Chain A
Amino acid sequence: MKILIIGGGKTLYFLSRNFTAKGYELVIVNRDREECVQLARQLSATVVCGDGSDAGILRDAGAMGAEAVLAVTPRDQDNLVICQLASLQFGVPRVLALANDPENAEIFDKLGVSAFSTTHIISSLIEQRAALEQITNLLPVGEGRVNVTEILLGPDSPVAGKFLKDITLPENALVAVVIRNDRPIVPRGASQLLADDRLVLITLPENHGPVLKIFTGEEK
């Protein structure tokens, strides 16, 4: 898989290191000549020096055959234009823009460009993690639109001893796995939940709070 990544700084460096380690073919576009030299030394990626929102530079970087373009510059306007050029001009099937201003994440979506905001992701992570002690792990996936949460059922949980089929969950929520004595079980309606079970829940940010309340009894 060939990926184009446009940007600089630590974000770009560590993302690139991650991608090359996974064996992706990587092309980096960066405006700063000196940083380009450094990146080329440190990473096994092709580095193109120039403005990523210039169609000529994108072509030189091989946008035509790329499967994904990731724009992570510190300037939202550049990230938007890079992604739009990549998809409209070069037909790149998957483009993703960093929205430095969290309000721009929604705007970019409305303008037809998938976007993510690290501010959004980190703040929701902190809020949700801080909300409940029983949460032992939390992972936002799907650009932060889905949460995977691991919780521990305490002895005073309102669902301890209940069968899954008797627990009414809001729409778009799921108990994916029950871990009992270190053994994972994919539960069915007839499965019983017990105190000390660890549950892996799939929720959406909208129903995350209410779902946790059902399992822990605590007000978020």
Chain B
Amino acid sequence: MKNSLYIVIIGCGRLGSHLAARLSRAGHSLVVIDREEDTFSDLSPDFSGFRITGDATQISVLKSAKLKQADILFAVTHEDNVNLMAAQIARRIFNVPCVMARVFDPKREEVYARMGIGTVCPTSVAAEIFLRAADSAPAPQEEIQS
């Protein structure tokens, strides 16, 4: 990996903890924020970053994560609106250069993608893959003969 980046991850569920462990192992500086302390137990033992227990929709929590110095913010909690709010604050107020939010609702994702907030919609991504699988499935047999 190139230079070490300062990365803040909001939400330490399955996706958050996975990203945190991978990026930490790759030599980046990590801060993980979650409202519930218990979720940090999902982090793998080779995670060497910081953990902050707090609500990411409170600016004081984001400040304590030194967001101003962050190179990347990933907002991956289970709540679309938390992710969208944190991502906008990171981009517009703390000027974090790379910001991505997970948004489950495709309609909501569309609006924010147009606003210039980086979004990933797992629903749309999964739907694409399923649809592609359906397209490339073998054609049905015309007649079944016994």
Residues of A within 8 A of B (CB): 53-56, 75-78, 80-81, 84-85, 88-89, 101, 103-104, 107, 110-111
Contact = CB atoms under 8 A, between A and B. Distances in A.
Contact of B108 (A75, A85, A103, A111): A85
A85 B80 CA distance: 13
Nearest to A103: B59
Contacts of A103: 58-60
A80 B81 contact: yes
**A interface SS class:** helix
A27 B81 CA distance: 22
Interface in B102-123: 105, 107-108, 111-112, 114-115
B59 A107 contact: yes
B111 A80 contact: no
B111 A89 contact: yes
B96 to A, nearest CB: 14
B60 A81 contact: no
B52 interface: no
B93 interface: yes
B88 interface: yes
B26 interface: no
Q: How large is the interface on B (under 10, 10 to 19, 20 to 34, 35 or more residues)?
A: 20 to 34
Given A81-B80, A111-B89, A111-B92, A56 B107 contact: yes
The 7 A-B residue pairs with the shortest CB-CB distance in the complex, in nearest-first order: A77-B81, A77-B85, A55-B107, A81-B81, A77-B82, A77-B57, A103-B59
Contact of A77 (B59, B79, B105): B79
Interface of B: 57-60, 79-82, 84-85, 88-89, 92-93, 105, 107-108, 111-112, 114-115
Contacts of B93: 107, 110
Given A107-B89, A110-B92, A111-B88, A85 B111 contact: yes
A75 B56 CA distance: 12
B85 A76 contact: yes
Contacts of B112: 84
A88 B113 CA distance: 12
Given A53-B80, A76-B85, A111-B92, A104 B111 contact: no
B34 to A, nearest CB: 15
B57 A76 contact: yes
Contacts of B82: 77
Contact of B57 (A55, A85, A101, A111): A101
A84 B111 contact: yes
Given A76-B57, A85-B111, A107-B89, A54 B105 contact: yes
B57 to A, nearest CB: 5
A10 to B, nearest CB: 23
23 contacts: A53-B108, A54-B107, A54-B108, A55-B111, A56-B107, A75-B57, A76-B57, A76-B85, A77-B57, A77-B84, A77-B85, A78-B81, A80-B88, A81-B108, A88-B111, A101-B58, A103-B58, A104-B58, A104-B59, A107-B89, A107-B93, A111-B88, A111-B92
